[in-house]
């Protein structure tokens, strides 16, 4: 039991707080690391919501002593954030719970509701003394708020927050936080009427209001509301599909607000995944890079890795594509234009489309590349939306009749405008080190692993244009092109024999095998 807050009204329930000593005790308790991480996440959500903090203050100042702001107010906040929504889902009411066995009269709750309504108009306040709730289900008198909350019909709803006298946010969750953050609806094991849960799910419309919420037994729909779901016959023949902040939509319906910061500032990060036989290749490596890039520019990605995997799985299933390309983008959200960070949730969009096939003969014959100055910023290891220098370099290559621009900074080849670049000399592969001057490609990771597997030296050392021209062979890699040999450099001549070499062919043959493995 999480038991970091020992207030008497908690009644022995699973009580959480943001105080450092409590978090430390959780880390030392067996099996509590996951709950402690979810607690920190919940408190982070709360700290970034000025309206919530203001309402907690109103409850402290104008509500019953020791009262908690609970139920839908907290649950909805978490589910809205996990869906990447900029706007909060409207509340039916703001539930305030407290425990006073000395005065269990329902009439005593009304003055508290009136006081809160006067201090914070615009919310429908509902104040309930949990000390009078036990007869409803024939329970013995409760020991405190936590015990009463544990009898609520579902496990994701009994979550409460309050503000202590020293302005610390405290949390109470008798069933823990895992179901809340997993967006799972599960009946409380302590609820005596099992039919109440089913009635509430049907009446509240949670599965429709939050498309990623599902029943714990897996029977709940994942995706858009029922009336918007794609008909199975249409789904079977569908190809391209989109996702935006909790909704699966056609690409025609995937419209971003004008004040989306990715649109106005390029304020975001992205990933590109290739799907083989229904599975994104090297998914975990892509997610590592996504979260690393987001951390470096201080964007919080609301869904965790498990939630992102679930969304991507659903996107692939709905598209009907066994093979395709997924583009995922996370931005700092939607807010009035201002260079400073806004206090809004991040925004998540994805698309899946059929593969962009290489032109016939490209991999078999090799390609020409154009040497081009590397004019990008000094944080190329971040997979940022800011790609204007890459675009200009790629366009220069296209206008020169080349497949790719190979970028040169301070006399050294860094990478391609949308790929990593390698040379092969005396049987060894050589490529620029994974510094801030290049993007560490996921296909680059695969190449290094294959080289180690096959006993091919893999050297991370920068090389210049002249060394590239003198190489035995050279090639490019990215998730979209896999591996493409370089036959020559525009205006400078061929590389090696001017045809794909044995190392590039061997590496790509193994790469293709790996894409067919789970």
The set of catalytic residues is 383
| Beta pairing partners, 162 | 170
The alpha carbon of 339 is separated from its chain's Cα centroid by a whole number of angstroms, namely: 23
Find the largest Cα–Cα distance for the chain: 92
Helix (H) or strand (E) holding 144: none
Please tell me whether residue 407 adopts helix, strand or coil conformation: strand
Please name every residue paired with 372 in a beta bridge, in sequence order, or none if there are none: 407
| 174 beta partners | none
DSSP designation for 187: B
Rounded to an integer, what distance in angstroms lies between the CA atom of residue 67 and that of residue 225? Answer: 35
Class of residue 392 by CB neighbours under 10 A (exposed 0-12, middle 13-18, buried 19+): middle
Give the dihedral of Cα atoms 15, 21, 26, 27; nearest 10 deg. Answer: 160
Residue 484: phi and psi, rounded to 5, are -130, 120
Query: Hey, what are 488's tokens?
Result: 């020559």
CA–CA dist 32, 27 (Å, integer):
6
Distance, CA of 131 to CA of 286 (rounded, Å): 51
Strands 367-373 and 482-489: parallel
- Rounded to 5 degrees, φ, ψ at 422 are -140, 150
Q: Record the tokens describing residue 354, joined without a space.
A: 């059929």
Pairing label, strands 214-215, 347-353:
unpaired
| Contact between 112 and 127 (Cβ < 8 Å) | yes
Note the Cα 148 to chain centre separation in Å: 34
Residue 101 in tokens: 């066995």
Residue 485: strand pairing partners: 475
């Amino acid at each position: 039991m999480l038991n970091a807050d020992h207030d008497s009204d908690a009644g022995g329930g699973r009580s959480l707080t943001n105080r450092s000593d409590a978090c430390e005790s959780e880390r030392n308790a067996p099996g509590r690391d996951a709950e402690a991480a979810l607690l920190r996440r919940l408190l982070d959500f709360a700290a970034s919501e000025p309206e919530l903090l203001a309402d907690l203050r109103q409850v402290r100042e104008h509500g019953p002593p020791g009262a908690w702001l609970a139920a839908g107010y907290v649950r909805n906040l978490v589910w809205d954030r996990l869906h990447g929504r900029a706007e909060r889902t409207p509340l039916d009411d703001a539930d305030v719970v407290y425990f006073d066995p000395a005065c269990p009269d329902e009439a005593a709750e009304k003055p508290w509701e009136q006081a809160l309504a006067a201090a914070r108009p615009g919310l429908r306040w509902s104040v309930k003394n949990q000390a009078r709730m036990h007869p409803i289900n024939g329970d013995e008198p409760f020991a405190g708020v936590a015990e009463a909350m544990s009898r609520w019909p579902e496990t994701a709803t009994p979550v409460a927050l309050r503000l202590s006298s020293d302005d610390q946010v405290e949390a109470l969750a008798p069933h823990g936080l895992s179901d809340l953050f997993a967006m799972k609806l599960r009946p409380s094991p302590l609820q005596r009427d099992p039919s109440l849960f089913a009635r509430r799910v049907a009446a509240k419309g949670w599965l429709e209001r939050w498309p990623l919420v599902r029943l714990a037994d897996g029977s709940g729909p994942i995706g858009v509301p029922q009336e918007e779901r794609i008909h199975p016959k249409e789904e079977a023949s569908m190809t391209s599909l989109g996702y935006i902040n909790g909704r699966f939509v056609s690409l025609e319906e995937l419209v971003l607000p004008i004040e989306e910061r990715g649109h106005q500032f390029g304020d975001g990060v992205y990933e590109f995944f290739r799907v083989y036989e229904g599975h994104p290749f090297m998914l975990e490596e892509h997610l590592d890079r996504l979260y690393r890039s987001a951390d470096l520019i201080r964007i919080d990605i609301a869904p965790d890795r498990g939630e992102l995997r679930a969304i991507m799985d659903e996107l692939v299933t709905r598209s009907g594509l066994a093979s395709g390309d997924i583009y995922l983008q996370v931005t700092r959200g939607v807010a009035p234009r201002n260079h400073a960070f806004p206090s809004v949730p991040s925004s998540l969009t994805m698309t899946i489309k059929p593969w962009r096939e290489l032109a016939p003969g490209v991999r078999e014959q090799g390609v020409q590349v154009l040497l081009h100055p590397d004019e990008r910023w000094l944080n190329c290891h971040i997979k940022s939306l800011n790609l204007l220098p890459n675009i200009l370099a790629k366009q220069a290559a296209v206008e020169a009749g080349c497949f790719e621009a190979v970028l040169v900074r301070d006399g050294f080849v860094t990478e391609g405008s949308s790929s990593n670049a390698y040379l092969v000399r005396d049987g060894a592969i050589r490529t620029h080190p994974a510094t801030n001057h290049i993007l560490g490609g996921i296909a680059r990771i695969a190449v290094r692993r294959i080289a180690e597997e096959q006993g091919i030296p893999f050297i991370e050392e920068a090389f210049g244009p002249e060394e590239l021209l003198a190489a035995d062979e050279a090639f490019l890699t990215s998730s979209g092109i896999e591996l493409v040999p370089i036959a020559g450099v525009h205006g400078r001549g061929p590389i090696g024999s001017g045809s794909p070499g044995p190392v590039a062919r061997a590496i790509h043959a193994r790469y293709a095998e790996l894409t067919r493995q789970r």
